[in-house]
Every structure is written in C-alpha cells, then in structure tokens.
Amino acid sequence: MVYSVPQILQCYAQGYFLMAEQDSDTLNWYSSKKRALMPLDERFRYPKSLRRVLNKQQFTPAINQAFEAVVDGCADRETTWISDELKEVYFRLHRAGYAHSFETWQGDQLAGGFLGIVLGGAFIGESMFYCIPEGSKAAMVMLVAHLRSRHFLLFDAQMMNPHLARFGAFEVDQAVYEATLYDAIQRPCQFV
C-alpha cells in the first residue's frame, strides 16, 4: 500500500513507525510498549575512548549531504527492516522536508550517520550505520549536540540495545512517550 506523506506524518505523530517484513517489501506500522530515548541533557554520556577520537577532530559533521547514501548504508545489513519500498518512503519524506540524514565525514569519505524523521522538536531516529570505525559513534555525539543547540525536546531511538545504553539511552512506557512526543511536536524547531 502506498501511503501519502500526510498519512505517514500523522502515524509518526501518534507514535507509530514503519518497518518492512523480513525478506519482503510489505510495510507495516509498529508501536511498542517501551520506547528507547536518547537523553538530550546531562544524562547523555559516551566512552572516554570516543572522547579521544573526537578530540583528534578526524570527523566533520554534515546534514543531508549524502541522504541517499545514508539510507543505503542503513539498509545494507544481513537482516534489515529497510526494504526498497521503505527507502522510497524515506526519499518522499526527504523531498517534503521531514526525513534527514546527519552524517560524519572523514575528508571526502562518508564515515557514518543517522537517518531520522523530524516533527517539530522531535528527532525520530530510524537507523544508523558506519563505513569507518567510530563514524556512527561520532555522529551520535555530534547529533546530540546539534539537537541541543536547536532546542529539540526528543531524540527517539525507538528500540533499546546495549550500544544505545552506553550513551545513556533509557526506556519509557508508551504513555510517557506519547505525551513527550506531543510536547516535542509543538516546538517550532528547525533541524537544518
């Protein structure tokens, strides 16, 4: 089924997200009883080893410089929920100004990045990837700094995993998530 951009945005604004069925282009809407959030305050943390990498200033951040490459990088896994149909959804949302890539570069090489959907002051992280070691971790730190500087309220990481927990991610129940998402959407933030 082909969803319109307004339909997609309405579902994301209600706390749903799209995923493709395994080994299929069939898209379904999902919600979860627990949602992983990345803190945008002092609870955000990262390993000292990453601090040393960042101090070397070997990565440069960029926004939407290689959106399609980031989508492809996020989908290029053994097991992926990003089908060709979902890629097209992201491309349509990008053209409409709602889907963005936050990237790290090492010289002229894409090092890693995030794919996300922005609604007001909410960054809904869809996926992340790296081509160069530490590329996505550096992107995480730089993205959090960017969201803070733009006064975002919410960085939705969707599903908890050990990697996100190392950065201070925490889970909230569905009711807390929906209330926070509602407040975040009301903020007139500009990602770009």
Evaluate whether 185 touches 13 at the Cβ level (below 8 Å). yes
Q: Is the pLDDT of residue 144 over 80?
A: yes
In which residue are the tokens 């960054």 written? Answer: 123
157 within 8 A of 165, measured Cβ to Cβ: no
Asked if residue 1 has pLDDT above 70, the reply is: no
Q: What is the pLDDT of residue 21?
A: 83
| pLDDT digit string, tens, across residues 71-106 | 999 999 888 889 999 999 999 999 999 999 999 999
**Residue 115 is encoded by which pair of tokens?**
């794919």
Q: Is residue 64 part of a domain?
A: yes
What SS3 class is residue 168? Answer: coil
Looking at the domain assignment, is residue 143 inside a domain?
yes
Note down the domain range covering 167.
5-186
Residue 11, classified by CB atoms within 10 Å of its CB into exposed (0-12), middle (13-18) or buried (19+), is: middle
pLDDT of 23 strictly over 70: no
Which residues fall within 8 angstroms of residue 14, CB to CB, at 6 or more apart? 178
Residue 192 lies in a domain: no
- Model pTM score: 0.95
Domain contains 191: no
13 part of a folded domain: yes
> Would you say residue 35 lies in a domain?
yes
**pLDDT of 104-140, one tens digit each?**
999 999 999 999 999 999 999 999 999 999 999 999 9
Q: What's 96's domain CATH number?
A: 3.40.630.70
Tally the domains of the chain: 1
111 lies in a domain? yes
